[in-house]
Amino acid sequence: MGMLINVFGIEGKFISLSDNIKFKMKRQDIVEIIGEEKSAYLLDHQSKTISKDLLHLPGSDFVDRIWMQSNRNPQVLRSLQAIYGHGRLAESGYVSILPVDQGIEHSAGSSFAPNPIYFDSENIVKLAIEGGCNAVASTFGVLGSVARKYAHKIPFIVKINHNEFLSYPNTFDQVLFGTIKNAWDMGAVAVGATIYFGSEGSRKQIVEIAKAFDYAHELGMATILWCYTRNDAFKKDGVDYHTATDLSSQANHLGVTIQADIIKQKLSTNNGGYNAIKFGKTHPKVYSELTTDHPIDLNRYQVANCYMGRAGLINSGGESKGATDLAEAVETAIINKRAGGQGLISGRKAFQKPMNEGIQLLNTIQDVYLSKDVDIA
C-alpha cells in the first residue's frame, strides 16, 4: 500500500500524502485483509461460463487496441488516454476514479457530515490527487469552483445530471444541471451521466443523454454512464432484483448502445430478475451456461454486455459501513478484475473518513489491480 505522510503541514497547509510507490500486493496481503476463506473463494475460482479468451481485457494498449477501431475522433482518444494514463494505475488499462456527486444524489449533510472538510470542494479534488486516482468525477459546481487550479493536474469528469432528492415525493428521474459546453470550457476530459433504466422516465433520459454524449464526443470528451435500474416492480416477494445480473447487464447493454465509453454499474448481488418479475425477454442459457451464483461469474456477464469489454466496466464501491470498508473494497476490486472489468469507482468509503485513511483505502484498491496474484478467472 502506498506510503503515507501527514495530511496537513505547518499552519494546516495541505501537503502531499502519497509517494505513489506501487506496492506489490501479494496473496498473503489480501488474506490479511479479507481472510483465508474469502481469499480462496475469490482468488481460486476459475470461471467456466464465458471464456476469458472472448473478452477484450484491459491493458496498456487499450486505446490503440480497442478504441482506435471505433468512430471516436482523435480528441476523444486523447481524452480516454488522459484517464488511462494518470495516477497510480497509469498505463495498466485499469482505472480508479473518485466520484463525489452524493451531495446532490443523497444530500450534502448525509454525505459530508462524517467528515466536514469535504463541504469544501477543493478537498474532494485533493483526495483524488493524493489518492493516486486516474480521475475525479463530480458536479458542475464542485469542479467548476476549482477548475483553473486543478483541471490540468488531474482529469475532470463532470457529472451532468442528478436526482436532486429534495423535491417531494421523490421520483426516479434525472435532471440536467448544466451543459456539455460548460463541462468542456472548464477543462473536463469526460462527462458522466445517470440513466434510471426501467423507470417511468427512462426513455426521456435515454434521449437526453444520447444527445449529450454525441455532443461530448464531437467536442472531444469521453463519456461514462451510470447504468442503474429503477422500478418498484423490480422488487418481488421480498427480493430486490435491481442488482440482478440479468437486469443490470441489460442496462449495461443499453448504455453502450448510446456509445458510453465506460460503464459504471453496481456489483451483481443475485440473478433471475427477468423470471421473477415476468416481464421482458431472456433465455434459459443465461442462467444455465452463461452465469453461476459465484460473484465473479455474475460480474463477467455484466462485462459481456459491454461488448465483451470493448467498453470498460467499472463497479461501484458502495456505501461506507465503517470498519468493514477496506475488506469490502478489496473484495469488490478482486471480483471486478477477475471478471474482466476495468476498475473501481469508490466515493463514500474514501471520503467519509479521515483523509489519510481515505487515501490508504484508494491505494489498496489500486494495489489489487496492480497485483500479479490477482489474475483473470
Q: Where are the domains of the chain?
A: 17-370
Tell me, yes or no, if 278 is annotated catalytic: no
Q: Is the pLDDT of residue 111 over 90?
A: no
What is residue 141's predicted lDDT score, i.e. its pLDDT? 96
Strands 239-240, 235-236: parallel, antiparallel or unpaired by DSSP?
antiparallel
Q: How confident is the model at residue 22 (pLDDT cuts 50, 70, 90)?
A: low
Task: Name the grid cell of 287.
Answer: 442462467
How far is Cα 78 from Cα 16, in angstroms, rounded to an integer? 27
Tell me if 131 sits within 8 A of 350, measured CB to CB: yes
User: Please, are residues 222 and 80 in contact by the beta-carbon 8 Å criterion?
Assistant: yes
Question: How confident is the model at residue 347, as a pLDDT?
Answer: 87
Choosing from 126, 264, 266, 349, the catalytic residue is: 264
Using 50, 70 and 90 to split pLDDT, how confident is the model at 164?
confident
Question: Please, where are the H alpha helices in the chain?
Answer: 27-34, 36-43, 62-65, 74-84, 102, 108-112, 121-130, 140-145, 147-150, 180-185, 202-219, 245-257, 273-277, 284-288, 295-304, 325-339, 348-351, 355-370
pLDDT band at 104 (very low <50, low <70, confident <90, very high): confident
- 314 - beta bridge partners? 264, 343
Q: How far apart are CA 183 and CA 186, in angstroms?
A: 5
For residues 232, 255, 112 and 143, what is the CA-based torsion angle, rounded to 10 degrees?
A: -150
C-beta of residue 296 within 8 angstroms of C-beta of residue 377:
yes
**Per-residue pLDDT reduced to its tens digit, 234-270:** 999 999 999 999 999 999 999 999 999 999 999 999 9
Does residue 373 surpass a pLDDT of 90? Answer: yes
Q: State the fold for domain 17-370.
A: TIM Barrel (3.20.20)
What is the rounded CA–CA span in Å between residue 158 and residue 178? 10
* Average per-residue pLDDT for the chain: 92
Burial class (CB in 10 A: 0-12, 13-18, 19+), 233: exposed
Phi, psi dihedrals of residue 226, rounded to the nearest 5° = -80, 105
Answer yes or no: are the C-beta atoms of 362 and 341 closer than 8 Å: no
pTM: 0.93
Please answer whether residues 66 and 56 qualify as being in contact, where contact means their C-beta atoms are separated by less than 8 angstroms: yes
Q: Which range among 94-98, 102-106, 199-203 shows the weakest confidence by mean pLDDT? A: 102-106
